[in-house]
Amino acid sequence: MNEHEARAAVLAAIHEVAPDVNTERLDANSRLRQDLELDSLDFLRLLENLAQSTGVSTPEEDYADLTSVQRLIHYIAAHS
């Protein structure tokens, strides 16, 4: 999966978990928890949705690195 495909998958998953977030104008540097206001359950649902749509499962030890939209996109692209 390339960066463009990973970005589309991440934005779709964010929209499912947080439909109030305007993904069309979302800054890639937006922080998932602080800027998008995802709580821990939203974050887990986001990763679950991405696992289903991309086949990329994220081990718990990687959670701390996934702080922004861009980091999540890079992670999905690198692990798919």
pLDDT recorded at residue 34: 96
Cβ pair 45, 67 in contact under 8 A? no
Q: Can you give the pTM of this predicted structure? A: 0.95
| Domains along the sequence of the chain with CATH | 3-79 (1.10.1200.10)
pLDDT recorded at residue 70: 98
What single-letter DSSP state applies at residue 57?
-
pLDDT recorded at residue 51: 98
d(C-alpha 55, C-alpha 31), whole Å: 23
**What percent of the residues of the chain are helix, what percent strand, and what percent coil, each to the nearest 5?**
60, 0, 35
Instruction: Give tens-digit pLDDT for 16-73.
Output: 999 999 999 999 999 999 999 999 999 999 999 999 999 999 999 999 999 999 999 9
